[in-house]
Amino acid sequence: MTDQNSALPSQGSEHHQQGDPKDTNNQSMESLLNEQELSVDLPQAGEIRKGTIASISPSQILISIGAKSEGVVSGRELDQLTAKEIEAFQVGQEVHVFVINPEDDNGNVTLSLKRAQEQISWDDVEKFVTDGGVIESKIVGFNKGGLIAVVEGLRGFIPSSQIGALRRSQISGETPEQKYQKMIGQPISVRVIEVDRERRRLILSERAASTESRQSLKERIIDELEEGQVYTGRVTSLANFGAFININGADGLVHLSELSWDHIEHPREVLEVGQEVKVKVINVDREKKRIGLSVRALQDDPWRSRIEKYSVGQLVEGKITRLTKFGAFARLDDDVEGLIHISELADHRVEHPKEVIKEGDLKTLRVIRIDPDQHRIGLSLRKVDSAAFVDKDFKLLAAEFNSEEDDEPSDEPPFEPPAEPSAGN
C-alpha cells in the first residue's frame, strides 16, 4: 500500500517552490525604497537650492527642495525675516534657500531664506564690477564719510570723493546731518567699484556712472591698443579676483596673479582706488571687448636672480618642508623651494614620501630641472650618487678646492729673485 503522505510534497518543499508572498512583497518594497533613495538629490551644507513653499505658520516655514523630507525655516532664521517679507510669501511659491544643515538632531533639513538672498545678491554685485553697468538706486542713509545706497538688497557706501559733481555742488554745512540729511530718498545712479564679500564691503561711485557712453569710448580705445604697450592708468575698482585700471577712458583688468610677483590675497594689499599705476597690455580681446593688463610684467622677477647660482646637475642642501602624495618640497637657500617628485626619492617604488623622508630633514639633493617661466626647480634624492654626474661633480669639487687653496695664506716666504752680482765680483 502506497503511503499517501509520501506522494505529497512536504510543507517545506512547497514553501521553497512557491515562495512566501509576504517575503516577495517586502523585497519589492525594499528595492523600490532603495531606488527612490538613490534618485534623491541629497542637499549639501552651504549650497543654494530652489524650492517650493509647502506651508507657512507663525513658528516655521516648510519648503520642499526635493529631499526625503521638507526643509525647515524656523527659529533665528525665521526671526531674520521682517513681517512684511513673511506676509509676501505664499504656499506654492518658488523661492531660493540656503542649506544650513542637511540633517539636524531631529532629522530635519535646516534652511535659510535670508542667507540665500544674500549670497545671490553678492554674486550679482560681483558681476556688476566686471560688466561696469550703471545701476539705478536710492539714497537710504549716510555717515561722516559719504552716502549709503542699496544695490540688490545690499547696503553700499558712496565715499564723498565718489559723489557726482552736481550733487556735491548742493552740499552745504559742516556736520554730516547738515550735508546729507536732505538727500535721503533721492534717486542716484551708481557703478560698483569695489566688492569684498568676506568683509561685507560694497563701494559705489556716482562719478563713475557718467552719462557718456562708456561702451563706445572703450571700443575706440581697444582699436588703438596693442599688446606690449605700457600706459599710466588709474585704479577704478577692486575685487577679490583683481583690479580694474582705467587707461585713456577704458577699463582693463589686472588679474590677481598679475599684480605682484609675491603672493597676495587681495588687490588692496598693493593698490587702492584712485591710485596711478603703470601697466602693460598683455591681452586685447576685441570680440569680447576685454583688456588684460599686468603690473608685475614691469617689475623685475626676483625669482630669476635667486636661481642664478643654481644649475642642472648641481648638488645642494635642502630642508624638507612638506610632504604630499606626489612628492616632497625642499627649501634651498634664498627662500627658493624645489620639488622632489615621488619618482626621484628612491630607486625602489615608493607609495608615499614618508617612507623615505620626513619634514625637517636636511638632505643633499641633485638639481635635475630648472623652469624659470614656471618658477619651478626639480630636485632628486636618488640621483645624488648617480654615475651620470660623476664628471660634473669632480669638476665642481676641483674648482672649489682650487678656490679654497687660492684663498688660504701660504706658510712659505714670498719668492725673491736672486741679487744681481756686484761689478767688483
Q: By mean pLDDT, which of 31-40, 180-189, 359-368 is the weakest?
A: 31-40
Chain mean pLDDT for the chain? 81
Which of 34-43, 206-215, 290-299: highest mean pLDDT? Answer: 290-299
Q: By mean pLDDT, which of 17-31, 247-261, 316-330 is the weakest?
A: 17-31
Across 328-341, average pLDDT: 87
Residue 83 in this model has a pLDDT that exceeds 70: yes
Q: For position 67, what pLDDT does the model report?
A: 67
Cα distance between the two ends of the chain: 161
Q: For position 230, what pLDDT does the model report?
A: 93
CA distances from 155 to 141, 196, 217, 364 (A): 9, 13, 30, 58
Q: For position 408, what pLDDT does the model report?
A: 54
pLDDT tens-digit series, residues 114-148 = 899 899 999 989 988 887 788 999 999 999 999 99
Q: For position 405, what pLDDT does the model report?
A: 55
Angle, vertex CA 100, rays to CA 99 and CA 102, nearest 5: 70
Closest CA to 193 of 167, 148, 156: 156
Q: Do domains 48-113 and 304-395 have the same CATH topology?
A: yes
- Binning pLDDT at 50, 70 and 90, where does residue 241 land? very high
Query: Buried b vs exposed e over 157-193: b needs ≥16 C-beta within 10 Å?
Result: bbbeebbbeebeeeeeeeeeeebbeebeeeebbbbbb
CA distances from 320 to 125, 183, 316 (A): 44, 62, 13
- Binning pLDDT at 50, 70 and 90, where does residue 31 land? low
Q: How far apart are CA 322 and CA 90, in angstroms?
A: 55
214-298, CATH topology level: OB fold (Dihydrolipoamide Acetyltransferase, E2P) (2.40.50)
Across 409-413, average pLDDT: 50
Query: Buried b vs exposed e over 116-142: b needs ≥16 C-beta within 10 Å?
Result: bbbbebbeebbebbbebebbebebeeb
pLDDT tens-digit series, residues 179-236 = 899 999 999 999 999 999 889 999 999 988 865 455 666 777 888 888 899 999 888 8
Q: For position 211, what pLDDT does the model report?
A: 55
Residue 21 neighbours by CB distance under 10 Å: 8
Residue 269 neighbours by CB distance under 10 Å: 13
48-113 CATH choice from 3.40.120.10, 2.40.50.140, 3.30.365.10, 1.10.645.10: 2.40.50.140
Q: Which amino acid is at 271?
A: L
Q: How far apart are CA 397 and CA 181, in angstroms?
A: 80
C-alpha grid cell for residue 329? 618640497
Query: Where do the domains of the chain lie?
Result: 48-113, 132-205, 214-298, 304-395
**Contact present, 163 and 207 (Cβ < 8 Å):** yes
Q: How far apart are CA 247 and CA 17, in angstroms?
A: 86
What percentage of the chain reaches a pLDDT higher than 70?
79
**Contact present, 319 and 365 (Cβ < 8 Å):** no
Q: In sequence order, what are the residues at sequence separation of 6 or more whose Cβ sits closer than 8 angstroms to the Cβ of residue 237?
A: 129, 191, 192, 193, 194, 203, 205, 208, 243, 244, 251, 273
Residue 19 in this model has a pLDDT that exceeds 60: no
Q: For position 42, what pLDDT does the model report?
A: 77
- Binning pLDDT at 50, 70 and 90, where does residue 174 land? confident
Query: Buried b vs exposed e over 53-85: b needs ≥16 C-beta within 10 Å?
Result: beebeeeebbbebebeebbbbeeebbeebeeee
Which residue is it, cell 636636511?
362
- Binning pLDDT at 50, 70 and 90, where does residue 66 land? confident
According to CATH, the superfamily of the domain at 304-395 is Nucleic acid-binding proteins (2.40.50.140)
Q: How far apart are CA 80 and CA 117, in angstroms?
A: 12
Q: Which amino acid is at 120?
A: I
132-205 CATH choice from 3.30.70.960, 2.40.30.10, 3.30.10.20, 2.40.50.140: 2.40.50.140
How far is residue 63 CA from its own chain's centroid?
A: 32
What percentage of the chain reaches a pLDDT higher than 90?
37
